[in-house]
Every structure is written in structure tokens, then in C-alpha cells.
Amino acid sequence: MAFRFTLQSVLRLRRSRENQEERKLLAIASAAGRVRTAIEMLEEISMDQYQRRNDELTSGAAIGAMLQFDAMCDERRRTLQFERRKMLAELEHKRAQQAAEYRKARQQREIMEGLRDHQKAKFDREFQKREQERADEIFLIRKIVSDRE
């Protein structure tokens, strides 16, 4: 008779939930990575713009309209950076919450697997005990038969 874990469907459910929570966590981490990249790109653009403006000012080619346009672009970039940083903070908060959910789901799955492993070990010990009892009985029967002969 083979081992059968009576709570196998619950274990499958726990594994499924753990996988689902892990996928959610990875999606949030990916979104946070994209936002970080966007922030870095805005910072690079700001540095490039700053360098270009300095070059133009030293060459004397800057005009008032260009400076005004650059100032508007800088303001827009700062606004975008602020929004992205705020979004990143929200995503990091969600990531922390989702990480906790994932750990909880993983722990529940591990508990079920531990229970299954414990029951399987108990089943195996009992099976070995029955097999040993059968072997002992066969040995005794053969010994009795051989003693009578």
C-alpha cells in the first residue's frame, strides 16, 4: 500500500498561493526597477542639460529665450523626478507588504510539507515494522517446520 497524504489538495493550494504571491512580488519589484531607471534617466538628462547650458554660457551664445526654455525644462524634470520618487516610495511600500505576504504563503506551504514529510516518515516506519514482523513470522514458521523434520 502506497503512502497517501490526505491533505494533498491543501498542499497544492498552498503551493499555488505561494507562486501567486511570488509573481506579485516580482511584478512590483520590476515596476520599481523601471521607475528607478526613469529617475536615473531624468538625472542624466539634467546633468547633460546643465553641461550644455554651461558650454553655451561660456561661449557667449546663450540667449534669454534659451535660458527661459531651459528653466522651464528643468522645472518639468524636477516635477517628474518628484513624481517618480513618490511613485518609487509607494512601490517600495507595496513591495515590503507583498514580501510579507509571500513569506507568509511560503511558511504555510512549508508547514504543510513538514506535516506531509512527518506523516510519510511515520508511514515508512510502520511499513518497515510490519515487514519486519512478517519476516520474523516466516523465519519462525520455517524454523518450526525444519525442527519437525
Every domain of the chain and the residues it spans: 8-120
* Cell numbers 531607471: residue: 37
pTM above 0.85, yes or no: no
d(CA 81, CA 42): 7
Render pLDDT for 57-99 as a digit per residue (tens, 0 to 9).
777 665 777 778 888 988 999 999 999 999 999 999 999 999 9
Q: Is the Cα dihedral 29, 31, 37, 43 positive or negative?
A: negative
C-alpha angle with apex 46: 61 to 30, nearest 5 degrees?
155
Amino acid identity, position 111: I
CB 109 within 8 A of CB 15: yes
Closest CA to 94 of 15, 37, 26: 26
Q: pLDDT tens-digit profile of 89-131?
A: 999 999 999 999 999 999 999 999 999 999 999 999 999 999 9
